Structure 1
Amino acid sequence: METSMYNNLRKLINVIDELRDIGLQKYINLPRICVVGTQSSGKSSVLESIVGMDFLPRGEGIVTRRPIEFRLIHIKEDSEIKYWAVFENEKNKKYTDFNEVREQINRLTDEIAGKNKGIIDEPIVLNIYSIKCPDLSLIDLPGITRVPLKNSDQTDDIERLTRDMALRYVKDPRTIILAVLPANADMSTSDALQIARKVDPKGLRTIGVITKIDLMDKGADASKMLLNDEINLRLGYTGVVNRSTADIKKGKTISQALKDELEFFKTSCL
C-alpha cells in the first residue's frame, strides 16, 4: 500500500515538473524549499549538506549568479548507479561525476549571465537522482548584494535586483523559507529574516539556519539565537557547521563534515 502511494506521488511530481517546464508554473503550487541569505552566508554549503553531494561552484565573492532549482529524486538502494544528475536543458546526458556538474553549472552561468560577475534571474534546473535524498525541490538564489562589484557587469540597482528575485521565489505560500544567517552577524539587520518577514510575517513557514557557529569570537554566545529568544520564528532555528575553504582544499567530504558537526555540538558550550 505504502509503495503504491509513493509511486503515485512520484508520478504526480513528475507531471507537475513537466507542466512547470512548459511555462505553467504560475498555476502550480507544489511545496518546495527556498534558501535565502546574503552572499558568503553559507547558503550553498547548507544546500550541499541537504543533498549530500559536493557539486556547487565555489570561489570568492558572488558565486551563485543564477537561481538554481534542484529537483531531488530518491532512487532504490539496489540501483546499479547510486547517484547521477541530469540538467533540464540536456535531458539525454547523464552526469555521474559531480565535479562535471559543477563545471556545467559554471558554463551555464557564464553563458547567460556573462563571465564578469553578472547576476540574472533565469534559473538553471538540475535533476539529482540519489539513494541518499528524499523527493524534494530546492531553490538556491544569488545572495543579497548591496553594492555592485567594481569593473563587473553588476548594475547599480543590484540590491533591488537580488531582493526582488528572492521575494519572487519566497512569496508562494507553499514555499518553505530557509533564512540563512551567520552567527557572527547581527540578527536584527539580517536581510534573510527581513525578506522572510515580508512574505511570512507570522513565521509559519520560515526556518532560521545559523551558520558559522564555530567561527564566533571566544566568549560569544549563540544560545539565545538557537533558543529562539531574539527574533521569534514559529519553526525556530537550527545551527550548522559547514566546511571551511581549508577543509574543502584538504578534501574533507560532506559525510565527514556532518560527523564533525555532530561532535562539535556535543562538546561545545553555546
Structure 2
Amino acid sequence: MEGLIPLVNRLQDAFAALGQSCLLDLPQIAVVGGQSAGKSSVLENCVSRDFLPRGSGIVTRRPLVLQLITAKTEYAEFLHCKGRKFTDFDEVRQEIEVETDRITGVNKGISSIPINLRIYSPHVLSLTLIDLPGITKVPVGDQPPDIEQQIRDMIMQFISRENCLILAVTPANTDLANSDALKLAKEVDPQGLRTIGVITKLDLMDEGTDAREILENKLLPLRRGYIGVVNRSQKDIDGKKDIKAALLAERKFFLSHPAYRHMADRMGTPYLQKVLNQQLTNHIRDTLPAFRSKLQSQLLSIEHEVEVYKNFRPEDPTRKTKALLQMVQQFSVDFEKRIEGSGDQVDTLELSGGAKINRIFHERFPFELVKMEFNEKELRREISYAIKNIHGIRTGLFTPDMAFEAIVKKQIVKLKGPCLKSVDLVMQELINTVKKCTKKLGRLQLPCICMSLC
C-alpha cells in the first residue's frame, strides 16, 4: 500500500511529459481556497520549508503539482529541470516564479498548464497535492475583467473529476456559509463525500468565539470531517519565524485552548499530513480498478492505431497524399465545429473556441473601450476649434465635413490599442483551438505523416 502514492506520482510525471495530464482522471488532492485563506502556509507547514511565492493579489497563477516523498536527504526537483537538484528552497521559490512568468507573462495572467515539483525530505509523509490559484473577485493590474471566471473554470476543471479529493481551506474568522472553497466543493460534491475541510486562523477569531462546532463536524457536515490548523502570522513570516517553532506553537495552542483541548490530538499540521496520506492512499486503492480498466481501454485504442500503420509504406506517394488529405479534412471539420459551436462533445467546464472569442468581442473589448480616458469638455473644445479654423474669417451655417473628419480620425487612433489587444486575444484562442484540433487527430497520425513527408 505504501507504494501507491509514488506510483501515481510516476504516472503524473509521465502523462505531464506527454502533454496528457488533463485527459486522465488520476487520484489526487486539489487544494482550494480564497486568496487570504492561508493555503500557502498550510502547504509550507506540511513541507516544513518556505518555498512558495508570496505577495499581494494572485500569487499562484499555475497549478502546482506538489509531490512529497519521504527520504533521508532534503532537496527538490522540477519536472521541467530534469537532473537539477535544488537544496536552497529560496531558489525553488524563484524557479516557480520564473516558470510561471514564462507561460503566463508578468501581468498576473493565469494558465492551466501545471508545474510539477517533487520534494524529498525526512520531515514529510508521502503525499501529492495540487495547489490551485486562490479565488479572487477583483481584477488587478492588466488582468482581464473575467479573471474570477477564469480561475473558477480552472478550479472546476480539477475538482469536478470523480477521482479528485478536495482540500477546502477556509479561515475561521469568516462565516463558514460564505466560504468560497466550500461553495465550489459543494457544486461538484453536494454530499460532501470527496471534501476534506481545513480551518485556518483559529488564533485570530474574536474573543469569546470559537470554531468548536465546525471542527466537531456539526455545523456543515463533511464525510471526511474538518481539521484545524494554526499558521504563522504575516508578522511571523516577515520575521523569518522557523516553521518548526511555529508547529510547536500550534501544538501548544490546541492543548491550552479550552474549546479545542479535548480534540487536540486530532488537530494541527502533523495530524493533517497523516490524514491526507491515509485518505489519498485509501482513495487510490479504491479507484485503482476503474482507473486500470480505463487505462487498458486507452492502450487497446492506441494499439489499434498502431496496427493501422503496420503496413504503412512511406515511399508510396499515393498513400501519403490520401492520408494527408484525410487529416486536413478532419482538422477542418473539427476546427469549424469548435468555432461555430456545433461540436458533438460540449465542454461544461470552461469556455473555449467560438464561445471564448464571443466573450472577447462582447465583454473584453467593451471593457477596454470603457477604460479609455475620455474628456468630453476637451472634445467639445477641439470640435469648436476645428470648425472655426476651417471656416476662417467666414461665419458658416453648417458643420463642415473636414472638421468632422479631422475629429473622427483623431478619435479612431485611440481605438488602435484596444483593437490590437482584442486581436491578440482572439489570435491566442485560435491558436489554442488549432492545438486542440491537432491533438484530436491522434498522437500517432501526425508524426507518421510528418516523417513520411521529410
Question: TM over 0.5: same fold?
Answer: yes
Partner of 1:35: 31
CA contact (8 A) 1:32 1:136 kept: no
CA separation of 1:123/1:15 partners in 2, compared to 1, >3 Å: closer, same or farther? closer
Partner of 1:178: 167
Distance 1:243 1:173 in 2: 33
Q: Which moved more, 1:117-126 or 1:164-173?
A: 117-126
Matched, 1:207 2:203: no
Distance 1:99 1:109 in 2: 16
- For residues 143-180 of structure 1, what are the alpha-carbon distances to aligned partners after superposition, in whole Å with 9 as ceiling and x for unaligned? 1111112xx12111111111111111112222221101
Matched, 1:125 2:116: yes
Deviation for aligned residue 1:97: 0.4
Q: Which amino acid aligns with 1:227?
A: E
Q: Which amino acid aligns with 1:161?
A: Q
Q: Superposition pairs for residues 1-270 of structure 1, below 5 Å?
A: 6=2, 10=6, 13-26=9-22, 28-75=24-71, 77=72, 82-149=73-140, 152-270=141-259
Q: Which moved more, 1:192-201 or 1:48-57?
A: 48-57
Tell me the SS of whatever aligns to 2:19.
Answer: helix
- For residues 45-101 of structure 1, what are the alpha-carbon distances to aligned partners after superposition, in whole Å with 9 as ceiling and x for unaligned? 1111222222111112321122111122222x3xxxx11111111112111100110
Aligned residues: 259
Distance 2:182 2:12 in 1: 30
Q: Which amino acid aligns with 1:186?
A: D
- For residues 225-256 of structure 1, what are the alpha-carbon distances to aligned partners after superposition, in whole Å with 9 as ceiling and x for unaligned? 11222211111111111011111222212111
List gaps (5 residues or longer) in structure 2. Answer: 260-454
Deviation for aligned residue 1:8: 8.3
Tell me the SS of whatever aligns to 2:21.
Answer: helix
Distance 2:8 2:103 in 1: 31
Q: Work out which of the two has the higher radius of gyration on C-alpha atoms and give 1 or 2.
A: 2
CA contact (8 A) 1:83 1:128 kept: yes
Tell me the SS of whatever aligns to 1:165.
Answer: helix
Over the matched positions of the two proteins, sequence identity in percent amounts to 51
- For residues 164-202 of structure 1, what are the alpha-carbon distances to aligned partners after superposition, in whole Å with 9 as ceiling and x for unaligned? 111111122222211011111111111100111111111
CA separation of 1:11/1:118 partners in 2, compared to 1, >3 Å: closer, same or farther? closer
Tell me the SS of whatever aligns to 1:256.
Answer: helix
The structure whose RCO (Cα within 8 Å, separation 6+) is larger is 1
Q: Which moved more, 1:46-55 or 1:8-17?
A: 8-17
Distance 1:262 1:241 in 2: 9
CA separation of 1:12/1:257 partners in 2, compared to 1, >3 Å: closer, same or farther? closer
Q: Which amino acid aligns with 1:179?
A: A
Distance 2:112 2:258 in 1: 41
CA separation of 1:220/1:96 partners in 2, compared to 1, >3 Å: closer, same or farther? same
Distance 2:7 2:228 in 1: 35
List gaps (5 residues or longer) in structure 1. Answer: none
Tell me the SS of whatever aligns to 1:59.
Answer: coil
Q: Which amino acid aligns with 2:39?
A: K
TM-score of the superposed pair, with normalisation by structure 1: 0.89
Tell me the SS of whatever aligns to 1:168.
Answer: helix
Distance 1:26 1:96 in 2: 30
Deviation for aligned residue 1:11: 5.3
Deviation for aligned residue 1:15: 4.3
Tell me the SS of whatever aligns to 1:207.
Answer: strand
Q: Which moved more, 1:215-224 or 1:34-43?
A: 215-224
CA contact (8 A) 1:20 1:28 kept: no
CA root-mean-square deviation:
1.9
Tell me the SS of whatever aligns to 2:149.
Answer: helix
CA contact (8 A) 2:13 2:79 kept: no
Deviation for aligned residue 1:27: 5.3
